[in-house]
Amino acid sequence: MREVAIIGIGMAKWGEIWEKSLRTIFTETALLALDDSGVDHIDSMVVGCMSSGLFIGQEHLASLLADYLGQKPVPAARVESACASGGVALRQGFIEVASGISDIVLVGGVEKMTDVNGHEATYALGTAADQEYEGFHGITFPGLYALMAVAHMHRYGTTREQLAMVAVKNHHNGSFNPLAQYPFEVSVGAVLNSVLVADPLRVLDCSPITDGAAAVVLCPVEMAKKMKKPIIKIIGSGQATDSIALSSREDIAWLESTYQAAKRAYAMAGKKPEDINFFEVHDCFTIAEILVMEALGIVEKGKGGGAVEKGLTALTGKFPVNPSGGLKAKGHPVGATGVAQAVEVVKQLRGEAGKRQIQNAKIGMTQNMGGTGGSTVCHIFERI
């Protein structure tokens, strides 16, 4: 396998972008990545998108986007793994370059979620759960994560305030990210007093509905070296699945797919959790970030809540988590999220993260998951 580098990144402001359609949002972002990389062509495209079918009535998405980007007839594939679609796209692009079949691959992620109303968006997102065993009974994602939160609180003593502290930290980080949908601070009190969605989760525990895209350009490390640009190498890639239905899990207070994906990524990279300088992870709900910290091995099982309270994962902590603001503050256009995590890691490793810059960051890791953890993709990146 060839070594693979990220040589270009692109992301524009996320939010409710009613004045632009999916194809425009994607194309503008992809052009930023192509411009940043300096390449004059691409050999292939991979696009992560969860449900353009339900959100905008458009499948056959990758061909459409390749055309709008002026790149036909290059091969273009869309990949889907619910909210992990972006991470899977990055992995497919990585494999494609590593294999030698393509040299320069554009990996994009996109979702246009605000062209439908709230009920329709909730239905579309709910298709990431098991429709025959979960959706049929009417449960949606806040409810599923609420079950996981209650189990974690009951078993490990995780507190309602600790959940809130995840949101407070991520909004603090996000306040330094001009591309974030909600770049402002929130307090523990504001989270605790926000509207109840699914007990114990309140609206400020939840990531938002977002329109947005993200893109990266990959090529072999050998080719990147000739371009005399900062080289961010993908040193580890791991993907894993679990039952998408919570009812089929052995333990609903544990993310087995994240544990398995991380194990594979650590093994490929030859790294341990303590070797990683910072993490971008999938905080779709506040409880999710706590569960992820444990599954990644940043803290022991059951210790995630306490670690947040002690500041371990703050921007200046030992293991900064979600310097970008995470899904919580940055927004969560589901198919784009996994790619945007890589964009943040590259910014940090290049030293281009502004007020949220982590000092001396050399190695970063991403964790992107679908549904309640039915799928996870992890990547580890190193500046060389």
Active site annotation includes 154: no
* Residue span binding a copy of itself (CB under 8 A) among the ranges 6-14, 51-59, 189-197, 273-281: 51-59
> CA-CA distance, 206 to 193, in Å (whole number)?
14
Interface residue with a copy of itself, options 62, 139, 287, 299 (CB under 8 A): 62
Active site annotation includes 332: yes
Interface residue with a copy of itself, options 66, 106, 107, 281 (CB under 8 A): 66
> CA-CA distance, 72 to 66, in Å (whole number)?
6
> CA-CA distance, 24 to 22, in Å (whole number)?
5
Q: How far is the CB of 97 from a copy of itself (least distance, A)?
A: 9
Q: Mask: binding to a copy of itself, 9-28, rule CB under 8 A, as x and -?
A: ------------x-x-----
Catalytic residue among 152, 282, 332, 379: 332
Residue 82 or 149: the one with the smaller Cβ distance to a copy of itself is: 82
Q: What's at 337, amino acid-wise?
A: T
Residues in 157-216 at the binding interface with a copy of itself, rule: CB under 8 A = none
Give how far Cα 74 sits from Cα of 23, 98, 132, 202, 296, Å: 17, 18, 38, 45, 36
For 138, residues 6+ apart whose C-beta sits below 8 A from its C-beta are none
Give how far Cα 294 sits from Cα of 140, 212, 248, 258, Å: 24, 29, 20, 9
Angle between helices 141-156 and 286-295 (to 10 degrees): 60
> CA-CA distance, 173 to 171, in Å (whole number)?
5
Q: 204 near 168, Cβ under 8 Å? A: no
Q: 217: which 2 tokens? A: 């350009």
Assign 197 to helix, strand or coil.
strand
Residue 135 or 302: the one with the smaller Cβ distance to a copy of itself is: 135
Interface residue with a copy of itself, options 260, 337, 341, 367 (CB under 8 A): 260
> CA-CA distance, 202 to 141, in Å (whole number)?
13
Catalytic residue among 49, 83, 206, 219: 83
Q: Is 297 in the site for a copy of itself (CB under 8 A)?
A: no
Q: Is 378 in the site for a copy of itself (CB under 8 A)?
A: no
* Residue span binding a copy of itself (CB under 8 A) among the ranges 9-17, 75-83, 106-114, 153-161: 75-83
Q: Which residues sit at the interface with a copy of itself, rule CB under 8 A?
A: 1, 21, 23, 50-51, 53-54, 56-64, 66-67, 71-82, 88, 91-92, 95-96, 98-101, 123-124, 127-132, 135, 237, 239-244, 248, 256-257, 260-261, 370-371, 374-375
Residues with catalytic function: 83, 332
